[in-house]
Structure 1
């Protein structure tokens, strides 16, 4: 009898979790958010400090990534295509936040990584967080993993958060999706 009760409770918990997971999967990827973006001050690859307020009046695309993150690297080609499409548009800025690195020489690893893949990304380095890791802004943005992209409007409001890499989507499709979301934010 005890076993049946336990089994029944277990099955109910699994069923409820499944319903919640299905509900999350069905949430439209293009649901616009209205969350104030945490302010940041991070150094770029040349040691210059950049802050979110430097980009007020522009649409900012933040991509959190790491050199060891394979899904991040798989996501780069589509994002790089979007960067090329917006090369002449000074109202959109792309910033790549290097975070959660495990090696102490992560700055050199980033430079080597970008050079070997021929990317000219504007990289900022996350700062050390209270956990002793390079995670201050990773934590401030409430992230659950990388890669994660945020599209922030001209007034510093996060409008979209794109978590992870979708292996079922071709690079061209991923680029088109990102372009569409940027256009929607520009129209706000």
Structure 2
């Protein structure tokens, strides 16, 4: 069963518990029949070249970025996914240069000296927006703690209107039919705009993601995903616990 065909030519092929990734620039002929969504319309055949490695490589963590061992079992796919999401844990945040929504540069130095909760989101991401009330409650819980700050890396542009309100812009493809692609969101984190290009530097491969960074710029917690029909109590509880632990460590130094 073909489960996905990328425009770049990558084929994800699943058979029982094995998942095989095929790339068009490899060496063995491989033909795919693409069944269109429209019922009754003819399928489209595309030809690929693929080299099949029948053995899972135990050293997959050392593979270059963008490379995958093949084939992968379902459990190995999960392991690879988790490694990709959490490999930045206990690592220093990368160097970057972005701009705050209300002006001024945001760099790695802004994380030093304070515990930072860092959020990654987009206005077109439903779970991202759904978790905002819970994140706002986290800000309120630490409003008297001067050594804790809350920053949000917003994927797209942010416009400040005449009333000094932030308008969060959606990507054009999500609002092409609307003259106004912006939306107002009551989000209490300090906003950093046009951050999508640095998501990959933090190994953020899907949103929302929330991180806790200690005062030395080391990532100590990574939480991915959010509930769209709950109050995200577990997420907030975990973030709050990590923040308190870091503050306790600082107070004992």
TM range (shorter): 0.7 to 0.9
Find the partner of 2:125 among 58, 69, 72.
69
Name the structure, 1 or 2, with higher relative contact order (CA <8 Å, separation 6+): 1
Measured at CA, do residues 166 and 185 of structure 1 come closer, stay the same or move farther in structure 2, by a change above 3 Å? farther
Distance 1:116 1:54 in 2: 26
Alignment map for 1:162-177 (pairs within 5 Å)? 162-167=223-228, 170-177=231-238
Whether 1:148 and 2:209 are equivalent positions in the alignment is yes
Find the partner of 2:188 among 113, 120, 141.
120
Higher-Rg structure is 2
Distance 1:116 1:12 in 2: 45
> Displacement of 1:26 after TM fit?
9.9
Distance 1:174 1:24 in 2: 23
Measured at CA, do residues 39 and 185 of structure 1 come closer, stay the same or move farther in structure 2, by a change above 3 Å? farther
Q: Deviations 1:53-101 (Å, cap 9, x if unpaired)?
A: 12311111110111111110111111110001011101111101111x3
Alignment map for 1:1-188 (pairs within 5 Å)? 10-13=15-18, 17-20=73-76, 33-99=89-155, 101=156, 106-107=158-159, 111-112=166-167, 116-127=184-195, 135-167=196-228, 170-188=231-249
Measured at CA, do residues 120 and 19 of structure 1 come closer, stay the same or move farther in structure 2, by a change above 3 Å? closer
The TM-score, its normalising length taken from structure 1, stands at: 0.72
Contact 1:39 1:51 in 2 (8 A): yes
Contact 1:45 1:123 in 2 (8 A): yes
Q: Which has the higher helix share?
A: 1
The TM-score, its normalising length taken from structure 2, stands at: 0.55
Q: Which has the higher strand share?
A: 2
Structure 2, gaps ≥5 residues long: 1-13, 20-71, 169-181
What is the number of equivalent residue pairs in this alignment? 168
Contact 2:101 2:160 in 1 (8 A): no
Distance 1:165 1:89 in 2: 25
